[in-house]
Structure 1
């Protein structure tokens, strides 16, 4: 005999079925972040799975951004910080390191969706900044000769490189490539591992979405200094030498008192060894790698095969193997020592 279900009964059956499927696997789109575990990564630490090691990239004392948490557009004024006329990331060294390590270069380029041969040009078109909020990303690491990936929260004060749509793409203190977090992962409902820090709250973790691609890439970023005493403009793909003069703080900033990002503390919830920095020695550029030369501000003209996807992820073109002579890594605009006053101590 054929059974006839009322519309209400059908809705109830569908709801129960969806709940069972979500509880069983948590893998369906729309099921949220069931079972998600996010790793906290602190300033001053490369984390457990670094591509390389770099020092002097992070700031341990930053004034908290008044509006933290939720989702922010990559072109929001004051979303990022920095030190005027000084760089927080050594792009030259990152390029030289990848050119000297073909296996890591292939994995790194695959995450960014570019061919290996385009790494130098791609990196030179990124912009160094400091995070001003604890930020949710997908962190792509390297362990035991293979690439890894997983959701992570980067502590405010960490140095990153951002692309032309305002999305973090490189973690400066270890060279790890970054992409946007999966949409199903929500910071408020996930569990966390790794060392915590004073002031960390799930509700204040920020997601950053790319600027609307229909508006084109960002020409100038409005940054705030670590103490939130002034704003200034930094043109895209420059590293401090062309920073604008001090300006008033962006409208969203308030007169809140500075909130330090102190050294992390043990939250008691981390797994043994979860956030212990690697003892891998800081690599020196290979003698076979050509030293980049200062040639001014990189152009914004896209190179063949370069990814213009604002998310900088997804399917990557077939990566070409580096040659024994990587050649010049292309133009990089780094802040001259005499202008920055105190260049990072690498």
Structure 2
């Protein structure tokens, strides 16, 4: 007894330990499912890089002090109006000097590493640089940066401060950091799961706000012009052709109000393009940017509102995006009122004879509860035009339940059942009651002319009093 009690106590203790261990494992697995924070190195404006591609003392580019700007949504497309700033000074990026350095045979190894980071060849460098446009960041921007170490481009995630001069490509993506020439690629991590490290000279800058950090997505198509904001005079806008450095700029008034277009019912991608064409930026609710095919339910401010250049319009998308045709209900076989027009003649909703051969009338149709009887008198004759072609086979197979009772049915005094013929008649004779002496052994041509052969089912299209002699 004592041993049993000891074993029971030990068993309960082991169960408790297992339960505690299970809870601990589940807690750890729940933590593992969450996305870990991605470490991002802060890069402040005007601070030299520790491992630059080019000596920053040669003046390839110059950063500018720019005040922080509000933003709605951490993912912005490269064609967003006002995403970037500009200046009428043409010295923020010296593309000519950068091209000369990269095409110099003495710098071939560095040029090869630079081109590899941007997925181009060294021969493509001059044409690639000619398509880039110098701009200034108006938001703290996440990018994949590159250091030059041991003859190779070493990538690392970084946060570039507002005011840093960069070259952007034809889809609005940052491609080169002007001051040091480091190649840039799009940030591929989760913008909501980052840990920014402010180290060395890159101390936390004034105006840094975690909610104002953005990453740039490529515009859906190559752009011809960039709509910038003059960082020295925000009331002035700069219309800069792609691939130029400022010599062909045109200015416009950013304070001129623009009407919010009607966007409800369009896709999120189409609404984004229409807003960009109107000089307005796209905002969205939540942390994730909606998919391009999501349906826009409403905009804030609503359609018709007047806003200044680069103002954000927040788009709300519908939860349900399917607008396909409604599937019609299956056709009903309970009566003619619900049968579709395409229903075949053999349906019970039509009084016409069935297209498939039926058994002799002695075997009867299905139960009366599922097959309506004919309301026509026994002497009535069905229209010949509605009778489909008939088979001359005298088969005695059981009928389908869809076969209607025809005018050859016995008088109402004889109940119609689904049972076998009367015991006095064999099941294969197909002979009706004695009062209607139609036999199946006579040829079909010995009787009066009719629209159907005189087989076991010929009575459905001819008079019931016909006798074969």
Aligned 8 A contact 2:145 2:185 in 1: yes
Aligned-residue RMSD, C-alpha: 2.6
Tell me the secondary structure at the aligned position of residue 173 of structure 1.
coil
Cα distance in 2, alignment partners of residues 111 and 157 from structure 1: 24
1:241 aligns with 2:247: yes
Residue 45 of structure 1: aligned partner: 47
1:172–1:18 Cα change, 3 Å: farther
> For structure 2, which runs of at least 5 residues remain unmatched after alignment?
1-23, 256-308, 313-469
Residue 224 of structure 2: aligned partner: 219
Residue 74 of structure 2: aligned partner: 70
CA deviation string 1:1-56 (max 9, x = no partner): xxxxxxxxxxxxxxx999867966xxxxxx67525221111111232121013437
1:143 aligns with 2:149: yes
Instruction: Say which of 211, 218, 227 aligns to 1:210.
Output: 218
Residue 311 of structure 1: aligned partner: none
Residue 57 of structure 1: aligned partner: 61
1:252 aligns with 2:311: yes
After TM superposition, give the deviation of residue 244 of structure 1 in Å. Answer: 0.7
Based on CA coordinates, which of the two structures has the bigger radius of gyration? 2
1:93 aligns with 2:90: no
Cα distance in 2, alignment partners of residues 119 and 22 from structure 1: 48
Residue 109 of structure 1: aligned partner: 115
Cα distance in 1, alignment partners of residues 103 and 177 from structure 2: 18
Aligned 8 A contact 1:33 1:189 in 2: no
Cα distance in 1, alignment partners of residues 38 and 246 from structure 2: 38
Residue 333 of structure 1: aligned partner: none
Instruction: Say which of 152, 158, 171 aligns to 2:177.
Output: 171
Cα distance in 2, alignment partners of residues 45 and 149 from structure 1: 19
After TM superposition, give the deviation of residue 204 of structure 1 in Å. Answer: 1.5
Tell me the secondary structure at the aligned position of residue 167 of structure 2.
strand
CA deviation string 1:82-135 (max 9, x = no partner): 113624201111111122311111111111111111101101110000000110
Cα distance in 2, alignment partners of residues 206 and 119 from structure 1: 28
Residue 293 of structure 2: aligned partner: none
1:198–1:110 Cα change, 3 Å: same
> For structure 1, which runs of at least 5 residues remain unmatched after alignment?
1-15, 25-30, 254-346
Cα distance in 1, alignment partners of residues 115 and 25 from structure 2: 41
Tell me the secondary structure at the aligned position of residue 40 of structure 1.
strand
Cα distance in 1, alignment partners of residues 100 and 30 from structure 2: 45
Aligned 8 A contact 1:33 1:186 in 2: no
Aligned 8 A contact 1:162 1:169 in 2: yes
Tell me the secondary structure at the aligned position of residue 242 of structure 1.
coil
Tell me the secondary structure at the aligned position of residue 123 of structure 1.
helix
Aligned 8 A contact 2:142 2:159 in 1: yes
Residue 284 of structure 1: aligned partner: none
TM-score (structure 1 length as normaliser): 0.60
Aligned 8 A contact 2:60 2:95 in 1: no
After TM superposition, give the deviation of residue 231 of structure 1 in Å. Answer: 0.8
Of the two structures, which has the highest relative contact order with CA contacts closer than 8 Å and spacing of 6 or more? 1
Cα distance in 1, alignment partners of residues 197 and 63 from structure 2: 26
Tell me the secondary structure at the aligned position of residue 66 of structure 2.
coil
